Amino acid sequence: MSSIVTITFSPCIDKSTSIPSLIPEKKIKCAPPKLEPGGGGINVARAIKKLGGEATAVFPSGGYTGKFFDHLLAKDNIPAVIIETGNETRENIIVLDESTNDQYRFGMPGTELSEDEWRQCLKAVEELKDAAYIIASGSLPPGVPLNIYAMLAKIAKKMNAKFIVDTSGEALKHAADEGVYLLKPNLGELSSLAGKKELRPGEVKNIAKEIIAKGKCEVMVVSLGAAGAMLVTKDITEKITAPPVVKKSTVGAGDSMVAGIVYFLMEGKTLVEATQYGVACGTAATMNPGTELCRKEDADRLYSLIQKGNIH
Ligand SMILES: Nc1ncnc2c1ncn2[C@@H]1O[C@H](COP(=O)(O)OP(=O)(O)OP(=O)(O)O)[C@@H](O)[C@H]1O
Ligand SMILES: [Mg+2]
Is 99 inside any structural domain?
no
Task: Name the band, by pLDDT with cuts 50, 70 and 90, for residue 2.
Answer: confident
Task: Name the band, by pLDDT with cuts 50, 70 and 90, for residue 240.
Answer: very high
3-class SS at 273?
Answer: helix
As for how many domains the chain has, the answer is 1
List, for residues 252-309, the tens digit of each pLDDT value: 999 999 999 999 999 999 999 999 999 999 999 999 988 889 999 999 999 999 998 8
Q: Among this protein's residues, is 255 annotated catalytic?
A: yes
List, for residues 166-188, the tens digit of each pLDDT value: 999 999 999 999 999 999 999 99
Give, for ligand 1, the residue of 182, 220, 221, 223 to mutate: max count of ligand atoms closer than 8 Å to Cβ. Answer: 223
List, for residues 14-55, the tens digit of each pLDDT value: 999 999 999 999 999 999 999 999 999 999 999 999 999 999
List, for residues 144-164, the tens digit of each pLDDT value: 999 999 999 999 999 999 999
CATH of the domain at 215: 3.40.1190.20
Sheet holding 131-137, edge to edge: 80-85, 55-62, 3-7, 131-137, 162-166, 180-183, 217-223, 229-232, 237-240
Is 185 inside any structural domain?
yes
Distance CA 75, CA 77 (A): 5
> Which pTM value belongs to this model?
0.96
Q: Any residues with Cβ below 6 Å from ligand 1, and which?
A: 186, 223-226, 228-229, 242, 245, 247, 250, 252-255, 257, 279, 282-283, 286
Is 104 inside any structural domain?
no
Give the ligand whose atoms come closest to the C-alpha of residue 221.
1
Distance CA 112, CA 140 (A): 9
Higher pLDDT, 133 or 102: 133
Is 123 inside any structural domain?
yes
Average pLDDT of the chain to the nearest whole number: 95
Give, for ligand 1, the residue of 250, 256, 264, 292 to mutate: max count of ligand atoms closer than 8 Å to Cβ. Answer: 250
Helix, strand and coil percent figures for the chain, each rounded to 5: 40, 25, 35
Give, for ligand 1, the residue of 42, 224, 257 to mutate: max count of ligand atoms closer than 8 Å to Cβ. Answer: 257
Atom number in ligand 1 closest to CA 223: 17
Q: Give residue 189's domain range.
A: 3-11+38-89+110-308
Active-site annotation holder among 14, 70, 166, 255: 255
Atom number in ligand 1 closest to CA 243: 4
The average pLDDT across 58-75 equals: 98
Beta strands in the chain (DSSP E): 3-7, 12-19, 34-38, 55-62, 80-85, 90-97, 102-106, 131-137, 162-166, 180-183, 217-223, 229-232, 237-240
Is 69 inside any structural domain?
yes
- For strand 90-97 and strand 12-19, is the pairing parallel, antiparallel, or unpaired? parallel
Residue bearing the CA closest to ligand 1, atom 24: 254
Residue 173 CA, ligand 1 centroid: distance in Å: 21
Burial class (CB in 10 A: 0-12, 13-18, 19+), 252: buried
Residue bearing the CA closest to ligand 1, atom 7: 226
φ and ψ at residue 142, rounded to 5 degrees: -55, 145
Is 32 inside any structural domain?
no
**Is 231 in contact with 272 (CB distance < 8 Å)?**
yes
Residue 188 CA, ligand 2 centroid: distance in Å: 10
Is 17 inside any structural domain?
no
φ and ψ at residue 81, rounded to 5 degrees: -115, 110
Task: Name the band, by pLDDT with cuts 50, 70 and 90, for residue 312.
Answer: low
Nearest to 113 by CA among 100, 105, 104, 122: 122
Is 96 inside any structural domain?
no
Task: Name the band, by pLDDT with cuts 50, 70 and 90, for residue 310.
Answer: low
Neighbours of 77 (CB within 10 A): 9
Query: In the chain, what percentage of residues exceed pLDDT 70?
Result: 99
